[in-house]
Structure 1
Amino acid sequence: MTRRHLRYAAPAALLGIALLATGCSSSAANDSAADTSPANDSSEEHAHSDEQRVAVSYEGGVAVLDAETLELVDEFDSEEFTRLNAAGDGRHVFVTTSEGFQLLDTAEPTLTDLVVPASAAGHVVRHAGKTVLFDDGNGETTVFDTHDLAHAEGELPEAVTHTAEHAHHGVSIELEDGTLVTTLGDETSRSGAIALHAHDDHWDEVASSDQCPGIHGEGTAADEAVVFGCENGALLYQDGEFTKLDAPDTYGRMGNAYVSETSPIVVGDYKSDPDAEGYLLGSVALIDTAAQQLNVVDLPENVRFTYRDVTRGADDLAYILSTDGSIHVLDPETGDLVDEFPVIDAWEGPAEWQDAHPAIIGSGGDTAYVTEPATNSVHAVDLRTGDITASVELDHTPNEFAVALGEH
């Protein structure tokens, strides 16, 4: 396995080609997981902008909002369907397009011509000062130093790459000691993960596991415990070893991990019926990485959500935006719902996973942002009180969004 250093040049401006459906659904789900680790303010962030920003995608474009007031700062033309992932440097957001990962500078703001080429741009993970991209089309992982991305002016910084044996819908993360943990699979199936350590110009295997069918999603909890979702539970990597955590059901799929790096407990979406129609879910998996245990909590009938509707926030609690229009507050330690904040009107699940539907994302502090496509609105919500502190009605229907905050 060859370890390469690449330097990217700025390509020509992107063509307006509609992005093919290469993303994830809740049955081949989008992983907010790579996007949901709370991130605190960083000095890097303030070195570039006195104001935090929120990026919102809509059909044919991307809007940049002021994170405090939600006032529109600027908007840019893009493709019909794009996905957004924070780069973790407090300034940039990666816009996944048919050309690859395009860098949106929210501080300027400008949709730059800087693109990491990818045949099927997939997950973006931020951890330990690294920003890691995965190309589903060829199985290539690209690792940037997050600090270097923050200073990208005219060209992308040098990157380290790893290419999987087979292309697949995957995800990678680099740990603090330089270990690269990446998924295993091919075009027809996915089976597990492998941990690799860089040695000169190649990668040496540290550990591997093939006990995670349909592996999807990634999240890193306290003490750098990495969790991946499986179709029959979860796969834990910690201290150089993989441990399989079995689901209580024969089919028990976790596809997305919602994490806080100060909590040992991972909250995962959970599905026990492989034949269930639609994308609404009614259960969560609670994975205690310290005790190496997985438990399933069935939510009340009025609490239904999709992969876009869970985030972590204040006091390491989990916040579930339900179809009843309320944010339901879950204590991961007990599995109990401890509060409820009505924020938007009731809504129905999407017909297709890409369809615009309400979503929630945390800011890394006491604020979360909620989209309400039915009114073309975005709201800022105080997670301690449930108060809506700011709202904006856009000229377009909001779909996905990302907060341009730095990582821990």
Structure 2
Amino acid sequence: HVVPHGDRTALFADGTGAITLIDPAAMGEGELDLLEETATEDPHHGVAVPLEDGGLLTTQGTEDSRSTVQVLDADGEVTAQTDDCPGVHGEAAAQPTESGDVISLGCENGSVIYRDGEFHKVAIEGDYQRSGNQKGHEDSPIVLADHKVEADPAGGIERPTEIALIDTRSDSQQIVDLGSEYWFRSLDRGPEGEALVLTADGELNILDPETGEILHEVAVAEEWTEPDNWQEPGPMMSVADGTAFVVDPAAQTLTMVDVASGEIYRELELLVVPHEIQVTTGTASGEYEIAPGSGESEGEHDDEGEHSGHDHEGHDH
């Protein structure tokens, strides 16, 4: 798993528990600068997040279970720990406080938030609630996440219609029912922190993360349902520079939506069935516009990708 945060990027290897920290700016110069190499106590399906103060947030666990999240300082000493995050999966960085980074992580009994040097638990209704796919924004205290409440769903796949808007200031969450299912590829954030969710009715829902109000509903795809095999192609989205790029494999289309207005401004037919999407500028600066009015001719545009969140967990997403 690859998690960029601040001026460092963490690489986490499930099979060995190895954590490698690199300087992404050096990669822009064609160099690979290994800043630090460490490892968890045991291999497991985990994640590591570099912190702005030089520390590191990481999961601890085994192949059979994982419930622990630790924060290590620059010297490798544990400064904060929680063991109350069963099945830990999914992370997102939110707007930092004066004390530093704010990180949300998904658990099977409600998310846990690292803030002001301590871990805080998000209260839930019932015994089981999983937000294993989370999307944050550096200027928003709200984290967008999926909302699953079935510990043992029929057929092995839960098809939720509700999302969670996790408030990292109050350790609470607002649940919003969109009335249509979605999957782990459905979530992203807009340039102003808007919460974007692509639902199975073919709509792109653009929400105000503070209120949960739907600002725009945009028809961007045919109706669909989550594939039984998560590795099969399905509708997906990536946001960059104010544009939501939505791919519909069934129709073989790429639709570009201006997030601020909710307007579709370009549609392309694809010659292949798309399986993944990642938007990148190909330049270190990323200072390009692709939204309407940029003055670029059709077929000539640069786009910027951004990372936040931990997208999926193999067969258990």
TM-score (norm 1): 0.65
- Correspondent of 2:47 among 165, 171, 177: 171
Give the equivalent residue in structure 2 for 1:130: 8
Give the aligned length.
278
Q: Secondary structure at the match of 1:149?
A: helix
Q: Does 1:366 align with 2:242?
A: yes
- Correspondent of 1:295 among 174, 197, 201: 174
Shift of 1:299: 2.8
Give the equivalent residue in structure 1 for 2:82: 209
Change (3 A) 1:407 1:145: farther
- Correspondent of 2:28 among 141, 147, 150: 150
Structure 1 residue runs of 4 or more that deviate by more than 4 Å after TM superposition: none
Shift of 1:406: 6.7
**Partner Cα distance (2:201, 2:306) in 1:** 32
Give the equivalent residue in structure 1 for 2:103: 226
**Partner Cα distance (1:245, 1:184) in 2:** 20
Q: Secondary structure at the match of 1:362?
A: strand
- Correspondent of 2:203 among 326, 336, 358: 326
Q: Does 1:194 align with 2:67?
A: no
**Partner Cα distance (1:212, 1:178) in 2:** 24
Question: Could you tell me whether the CA contact under 8 Å between 2:148 and 2:158 is conserved in 1?
Answer: no
Shift of 1:271: 0.4
AA aligned opposite 2:246:
V
- Correspondent of 1:386 among 231, 248, 262: 262
Give the equivalent residue in structure 1 for 2:149: 272
Matches within 5 A, 1:22-41: none
RMSD: 1.7
Q: Does 1:261 align with 2:131?
A: no
Shift of 1:396: 2.3
- Correspondent of 1:282 among 130, 151, 161: 161
Question: Could you tell me whether the CA contact under 8 Å between 1:381 and 1:390 is conserved in 2?
Answer: yes
Q: Which runs of 5+ in 2 are unaligned?
A: 281-303, 308-317
Shift of 1:264: 0.4
- Correspondent of 1:401 among 267, 277, 280: 277
Give the equivalent residue in structure 2 for 1:91: none
C-alpha distance after superposition, 1:246-291 (max 9, x if no partner): 3222111110111111000111101011222435321112211112
Higher relative contact order (CA 8 A, sep 6+): 1
**Partner Cα distance (2:144, 2:169) in 1:** 14
TM-score (norm 2): 0.83
Question: Could you tell me whether the CA contact under 8 Å between 1:127 and 1:407 is conserved in 2?
Answer: no
Q: Which runs of 5+ in 1 are unaligned?
A: 1-122
Question: Could you tell me whether the CA contact under 8 Å between 2:216 and 2:262 is conserved in 1?
Answer: no
Q: Does 1:339 align with 2:216?
A: yes
AA aligned opposite 2:30:
A
AA aligned opposite 1:310:
L
Percent of paired sites with the same residue? 40
Shift of 1:392: 3.1
